[in-house]
C-alpha cells in the first residue's frame, strides 16, 4: 500500500526556505504534497518567490504574516494537510528518499506516529570543547551511542487518528521567534501513545540535521538548556525533567570535563525551571 504524504515544513527563517523546498520537492511521490508555513513577516521578494514555487500543484505556501510560533504553525499544518498522513520536516533537516519510503511503509502498516534518527551535521565546523554527545539533544540531534526517540525535526503521524483522540500541539510549548521553548513534539507523541496510538522509531533510518556555527556557541547551548527547564515546568514534568536532563548530560562521558559540563548544563536547566516556577507563582507572563 502506497501512503500519500503531506510533507509539512514550518519555518521562521526565510533565508533557508528555498534550499529546503528544493530538497523536499525531490522526495515527493506523485500523490504527495508539500505544505510550507512561513511563521514570520517576510519581504515582498521572498513572498513572491515562494508564491512562484507554489505554482507547482504539489506545493502550497501559507503565511502567518508575523511570528506566532512553531506549535501554532504545526497545528495549522494538521488542519490544512491534503492527506491523512503528514510528515513534519524542519527547514534544516536533510532526509533521504530511502528514509521517507521507510516512514511511508510504517504508516501504511498502521503505525500512527513514526520517527527517525537525527544525526548532527556540523558542516565542517570543529566540535567545541564544551559540547559532548550528552548535549546533542540541545541541537535537536540524537546521541549516536543511544537509542533514538521520536523528535520533531523529522516525524510523521496519522492526522485523522490524532484528531480522533483530540490531540494537537500545545501552543504554550514550541519555539516562538527567538524564544527557545521546546517539547511540543515529544509532548504530543507522549499523549498519542498514552491514548493507545501505535508508534515506532526507525532507529537505523537516518536524517542529517544541518547545524549552523551560531548554534555551536556556549551561550546558545546554555540558553537552550535554560529554556529546556522552562519547558519542563510548562508541561508539568519539573522533577522528572530535571532527572532526565541530568541523565542525558551525563551520557557524554565519564571524565572530569564531561562531568563538569553535565553539571553546568543541568544547572542551566534548573535555573530555567526555577525561573518558570517563580513566574507562575507571581502570575507573571509565561
Every domain of the chain with CATH number 3.90.550.10 lies at: 5-216
* All three cell numbers of 144: 549516536
Each residue's pLDDT tens digit, 228-240: 999 999 999 999 9
Each residue's pLDDT tens digit, 245-271: 999 999 999 999 999 999 999 999 999
Pairing of strands 59-63, 93-94: unpaired
Q: Using the 8-state DSSP alphabet, how is residue 179 labeled?
A: B
With contact defined as beta carbons under 8 Å apart, do 224 and 137 qualify?
no
* All three cell numbers of 107: 504508516
Bridge partner list, 199: 113
Task: Provide the b/e sequence for 177-188 (b: ≥16 CB within 10 Å).
Answer: eeebbbbbbbbb
Tell me the pTM.
0.93
| CA–CA gap between residue 182 and residue 38 (Å, rounded) | 18
Lowest mean pLDDT among 51-65, 155-169, 171-185, 269-283: 51-65
Q: What integer pLDDT is reported at residue 21 of this predicted model?
A: 92
Mean pLDDT of the chain: 93
Mean pLDDT of 37-43: 86
Q: What integer pLDDT is reported at residue 174 of this predicted model?
A: 85
What's the CATH fold of domain 5-216? Spore Coat Polysaccharide Biosynthesis Protein SpsA; Chain A (3.90.550)
87 by Cβ neighbours in 10 Å (0-12 / 13-18 / 19+) ranks as: buried
Amino acid at each position: 500500500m502506497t501512503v500519500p504524504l503531506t510533507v509539512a515544513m514550518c519555518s521562521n527563517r526565510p533565508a533557508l526556505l528555498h534550499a529546503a523546498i528544493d530538497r523536499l520537492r525531490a522526495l515527493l511521490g506523485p500523490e504527495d504534497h508539500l505544505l510550507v508555513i512561513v511563521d514570520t513577516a517576510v519581504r515582498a521578494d521572498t513572498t513572491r518567490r515562494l508564491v512562484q514555487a507554489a505554482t507547482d500543484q504539489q506545493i502550497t505556501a501559507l503565511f502567518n504574516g508575523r511570528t506566532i510560533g512553531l506549535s501554532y504553525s504545526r497545528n495549522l499544518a494538521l488542519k490544512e494537510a491534503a492527506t491523512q498522513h503528514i510528515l513534519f520536516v524542519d527547514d534544516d533537516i536533510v532526509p533521504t528518499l530511502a528514509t521517507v519510503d521507510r516512514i511511508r511503509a510504517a504508516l501504511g502498516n498502521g503505525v500512527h506516529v513514526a520517527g527517525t534518527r537525527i544525526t548532527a551535521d556540523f558542516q565542517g565546523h570543529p566540535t567545541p570543547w564544551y559540547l559532548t554527545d550528552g548535549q546533542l539533544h540541545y541541537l535537536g540531534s540524537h546521541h549516536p551511542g543511544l537509542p533514538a526517540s521520536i523528535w520533531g525535526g523529522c516525524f510523521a503521524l496519522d492526522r485523522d487518528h490524532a484528531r480522533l483522540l483530540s490531540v494537537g500541539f500545545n501552543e504554550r510549548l514550541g519555539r516562538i521567534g527567538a524564544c527557545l521553548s521546546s517539547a511540543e513534539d515529544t509532548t504530543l507523541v507522549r499523549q498519542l501513545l498514552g491514548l493507545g496510538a501505535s508508534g515506532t522509531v526507525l532507529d537505523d533510518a537516518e536524517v542529517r540535521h544541518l547545524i549552523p556555527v551560531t548554534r555551536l556557541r556556549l551561550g546558545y547551548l546554555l540558553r537552550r538548556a535554560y529554556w529546556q527547564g522552562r519547558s519542563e515546568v510548562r508541561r508539568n514534568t519539573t522533577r522528572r525533567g530535571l532527572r532526565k536532563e541530568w541523565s542525558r548530560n551525563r551520557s557524554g562521558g565519564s571524565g572530569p570535563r564531561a562531568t563538569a559540563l553535565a553539571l553546568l548544563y543541568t544547572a542551566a536547566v534548573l535555573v530555567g525551571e526555577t525561573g518558570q516556577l517563580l513566574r507562575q507563582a507571581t502570575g507573571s507572563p509565561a
